[in-house]
Structure 1
Amino acid sequence: MTKLSPTDSLTYDVETAVLQRYQAGARETEACLCAPVAYEDRYLEIIPPELIEKDYGCGDPSRYAKAGETVVDLGSGSGKACYILAQKVGANGRVIGVDFNDEMLGLARKYQAEIAAKLGYNNVQFVKGKIQDLALNLELVQDWLAAHPITTVEQVAHLEAEMAKLRQTQTLIPDNTADLVVSNCVLNLVRPEDKKQLFGEIYRVLKRGGRAVIADIVCDEEPTPAILNDPSLWSGCIAGAFQEAEFLKMFADAGFYGIEILERQEKPWQVIDGIEFRSMTVRAFKGKDGPCWERNQAVIYTGPWLQVQDDDNHTYMRGERTAVCDKTFGILTNPDGPYAGQFAPVAPLQEIPLADAKPFDCSRSSWRHPQETKGLDYRVTVMSDGSACCDPNSGCC
């Protein structure tokens, strides 16, 4: 089959096809735009039926939000997920829904005051933007265009300059501000040439240690040229689907770590020309970039595999002390991280202050000798005084 590269041209405009389909979906419910998803009923009780009926998705990434977090929902549509998230993050959290479709934005905002009154707080904001360009506030662009109509080619350059300024001075979603970025069956709708930028934008807006949880449609084979050039299949979440392995690679290429398939639909949602299309939910974390410092730390991979390899080609043998830098030590032993419970931490007997740490030697042996963590002069002998021994009469042995 022929793979469509980002430089190839489709026979139609993707953005127009998607916009028109979802404008219609905002006016009248379209069942074919979504795959069956089970949401937690208690979070739907305050949401008006119209928003539920006109919500289109293939998963429920909202279930991974935590209290107090700032969450960005890419392609927020009717706003249903945002109103679920509003309940999960609570009054101290914040939810930002991003959509390009004015009719969907109008629908989501229609019930905003009503839902806020039911909750007792208003922590949801809906903004107009493209999910592959989260720096540009398109409502500000519209305001500028209303005051500066474009009638010449020269004025197009003025618009481009204004948009560049807006990205810098009135950034829609600033760098490092979100704890969680979610999206539900929307990334596949983006043009092929914009998808690399899209994942870069997700990474940019997340805080260090933040995570993305994305539900989307994937396929087991490359879509045929006939599928790719059918605008109804693109706007219907088929033609733009990621191949399964490619979807995970997009996260890795953007710099994410701890990339994990949380859910994979067993039975295909649709099959076209023998190609299976199904929903998949992936979680990925930000924060492995930065300098590596030597603080005499190690980790022990606890199994069950004989060995595992991370995205940076570090190999961890089961039961062996593996030397790691301070950054990797924190990532692998973080109780809230993706590797929780898989690695036993081995901290040095004498802690090395970060200010005194030297650069970690990535070319060294991966094995950390116990004397490196205890110290070369460690010759302590500690004998049990008997108080910790097991009393046969106590039943502990």
Structure 2
Amino acid sequence: MNNYLDTTVDVYKQAALKPDVGLCCTTTPIWQLPELQIPKIMQEMNYGCGSTVHPRDLVNSPKVLYVGVGGGMEVLQFAYFSRQKGGVIGVDLVEEMLTACDKNLLQAEKENAWFQKEFVELRRGTALDLPVEESSIDVAAQNCLFNIFTKEDLKLALAEMYRVLKPFGRLVLSDPITENRMPDSLRNDSRLRALCLSGSLSMKEYLQMITDAGFGTVEVRAKRPYRILAPSQFDTEEMILLDSIEVCAIKDPMPADGPCIFTGKTAIYFGEEEYFDDQKGHVLMNNQPLAVCDKTANAFHILGRKDIYVSESTYFYDGGGCC
């Protein structure tokens, strides 16, 4: 096992044995859903930087895979939408974390009349070699785990997620990213990497690795400030800002002209006609906003029309639009 993975296992073994509330800091409020009570211990062991639970992904009792179970909070939330035996598979490499999660699920069963522990199946395994059958999962998710991996291992982890997803299945991710230069001294620090602080890629690199894995559509659903690596505290000459990003990647066919990546851009046509049709499948009704992927937004820019407004990225996309 790589040195940084050894360190990661040790960090999360200790976090399983003794909850570490400050280990991560989620930037997304915990879902408030009818009759869902999340045990306090699960909240204390919420070792993520955002949320991967989005109700619009979770229709028709999907088969869900969650990698890196932590205290079980998101596993429980996924089970809320997939109330069937083994509806949620939780995978973790750290035996102590699986034990803690199992114990916490028993507590959740006591606090939630609707929840049965059999809704969740816990398996020991690694994201680099998932103990899951090919094309068997509707929704796969990970929260602040892939950020720990080196680029080589991240490529393997994404390939594994792609393998186990059904056609048009969804991979939902939450990870820190940074647009600042990460010094090698920090990037190569195995403990800082395990703490999700120094493995961050730029957004462009992060999204490129996802599309290189074969995902034809990628949605950037949220981006928020997350952590600061300051020169007074870390081995860096300049302040490094980490953002928390939430992304959904869909296993649909790769378009001939490249992936559709939605970063929250909108196009509005305000010309003299009733609508504008680019003859490529995109119709803009007069003065009606349309969410567009970055590829389409760029094509509209190239047209140079004065009657089409294209917004900058908001890094918030919640469905609909051009593709």
**TM-score > 0.5, shorter chain as reference:** yes
Q: TM-score, normalised by structure 1?
A: 0.61
Where in structure 2 are the equivalents of 1:1-397 lying within 5 Å?
A: 13-36=3-26, 37-42=28-33, 45-64=36-55, 65-67=57-59, 68-91=61-84, 94-116=87-109, 118-121=113-116, 122-134=118-130, 172-265=131-224, 267-272=225-230, 273=236, 274-288=239-253, 300-303=281-284, 310=295, 340-342=320-322
SS in 1 for 2:11: helix
SS in 2 for 1:62: coil
Cα distance change of structure 1 residues 210 and 221 upon mapping to structure 2, 3 Å threshold: same
Residues of 2 paired with 1:340 and 1:46: CA distance?
A: 31
Deviations 1:34-71 (A, max 9, x none): 12331113379433222221121111111244131011
Q: TM-score, normalised by structure 2?
A: 0.74
Instruction: Provide the aligned length of Structure 1 versus Structure 2.
Output: 269
Cα distance change of structure 1 residues 249 and 186 upon mapping to structure 2, 3 Å threshold: same
Cα distance change of structure 1 residues 299 and 318 upon mapping to structure 2, 3 Å threshold: farther
SS in 2 for 1:197: helix
| 2:62–2:82 CA contact under 8 A, matched in 1 | yes
Higher helix fraction: Structure 1 or Structure 2? 1
SS in 2 for 1:242: coil
Deviations 1:335-390 (A, max 9, x none): xxx873426xxxxxxxxxxxxxxxxxxxxxxxxxxxxxxxxxxxxxxxxxxxxxxx
| 1:69–1:93 CA contact under 8 A, matched in 2 | no
| 1:301–1:316 CA contact under 8 A, matched in 2 | no
Deviation at 1:288, TM superposition (A): 0.3
Superposition RMSD in Å: 3.2
Residues of 1 paired with 2:35 and 2:5: CA distance?
A: 31
Residues of 2 paired with 1:107 and 1:49: CA distance?
A: 13
Cα distance change of structure 1 residues 92 and 29 upon mapping to structure 2, 3 Å threshold: closer
Residues of 2 paired with 1:239 and 1:317: CA distance?
A: 36
SS in 2 for 1:33: coil
Deviations 1:117-161 (A, max 9, x none): 632543111111111211xxxxxxxxxxxxxxxxxxxxxxxxxxx
Deviations 1:297-330 (A, max 9, x none): x86302468x97749xx968999xxxxxxxxxxx
Give the gaps of 5 or more residues in structure 2. 231-235, 257-278, 304-317
Residues of 2 paired with 1:231 and 1:44: CA distance?
A: 41
Letter matched to residue 119 of structure 1 = W
Residues of 1 paired with 2:151 and 2:302: CA distance?
A: 41
Letter matched to residue 30 of structure 1 = D
Residues of 2 paired with 1:235 and 1:44: CA distance?
A: 35
Deviation at 1:268, TM superposition (A): 4.0
Cα distance change of structure 1 residues 45 and 209 upon mapping to structure 2, 3 Å threshold: closer
| 2:83–2:115 CA contact under 8 A, matched in 1 | no
| 1:78–1:108 CA contact under 8 A, matched in 2 | yes
Residues of 2 paired with 1:255 and 1:219: CA distance?
A: 23
Deviation at 1:30, TM superposition (A): 1.8
| 1:23–1:101 CA contact under 8 A, matched in 2 | yes
Give the gaps of 5 or more residues in structure 1. 1-11, 135-171, 292-297, 320-337, 344-397
Letter matched to residue 51 of structure 2 = D
SS in 1 for 2:53: helix
Deviation at 1:191, TM superposition (A): 3.6
Letter matched to residue 47 of structure 1 = I
Letter matched to residue 270 of structure 1 = I
